[in-house]
Amino acid sequence: MIGISESQNLRIPEHIAIIMDGNGRWAQRHGFSRTAGHKKGAEALQRLVRLVSETGVRYLTVFGFSSENWSRPEAEVKELMKLLRYYLRSETAELHKSNIRLRVIGDRSAFDADIVQLIHNAEKLTAGNKGITVIMALNYGGKFDIAQAARRLAAQAVETGFVPSTQEVLHQFDAHLMTSGVPDPDLLIRTSGEQRISNFLLWQCAYAEFFFTETLWPDFDRSDLDEALSAYARRERRFGAVLRSSSEG
């Protein structure tokens, strides 16, 4: 069977963002520990990167660890860090072989030094790759991202003594966000039935199409991706404007 993600004629988003939710509930339903759920979630991520890279999508941003996730039980945070280490160690070479670029957004200063080093190495190794760019949001928060961009613009204003107009700020803002140089997400997917943005890419998702599915993240597979892509292709994107029909020219 040919999936939608393989068909040639669909309007494909340039950038997909995903909130990978439901690892814990998946584990509970299967009688496993939450750690086992996160492991399955990491496998689902590995699978998905391969699938998405075959579709023509140029950027994939995934929420791996939010700035709020530190408040989980210490043992769970420790397991997530272990998994992150394992993922970065085992996946970097694989991503590089597949011409995939890895970028990390978020405040990495809170991670252990060896994790910061692994991130740095992975970004450096894959920097020149021309395939899909995978952006992992780690210790990321949308409000923090906006605040640090505003701070940088304010610092610039103090330094130059010039306060830009609101229009100029709007124009310059993207370049100061952690996603600088990356087009805004066209499609935001959230799994597990939750319908919230949870402090993810707040500024960047201003015009994203949202797709919510009941599927728990570890179960997210090709058919879920196809469903999301075909829903996206049916949406009419107006960016706040009124679309004129072709008969109107």
In the bound state with ligand FPP, the residue whose beta carbon lies nearer, of 41 and 141, is: 41
- Closest distance of CB 46 from ligand FPP, Å: 9
**Cα–Cα distance, 29 to 217 (Å, whole number):** 13
Instruction: For residue 21, indicate whether it is catalytic.
Output: yes
Binding site for ligand FPP (CB under 6 A): 20-25, 38, 41-42, 45, 64-65, 69, 80, 83-84, 87, 192, 217
The DSSP symbol for 218 reads: G
- Closest distance of CB 76 from ligand FPP, Å: 8
**Cα–Cα distance, 56 to 246 (Å, whole number):** 27
Helix/strand/coil percentages in the chain, nearest 5: 50, 15, 35
In the bound state with ligand FPP, the residue whose beta carbon lies nearer, of 37 and 153, is: 37
**Cα–Cα distance, 13 to 21 (Å, whole number):** 21
- Closest distance of CB 73 from ligand FPP, Å: 11
Q: Among all residues, whose Cβ is closest to ligand FPP?
A: 24
What 3-state class would DSSP assign to 10?
coil
Contacts by 147-152, CB closer than 8 A, 24 or more apart: 148/176, 148/178, 149/173, 149/176, 149/177, 149/203, 152/176
In the bound state with ligand FPP, the residue whose beta carbon lies nearer, of 35 and 153, is: 35
In the bound state with ligand FPP, the residue whose beta carbon lies nearer, of 64 and 142, is: 64
**Residue of 21, 145, 224, 226 marked active site:** 21
- Closest distance of CB 39 from ligand FPP, Å: 8
Active site residues: 21, 69
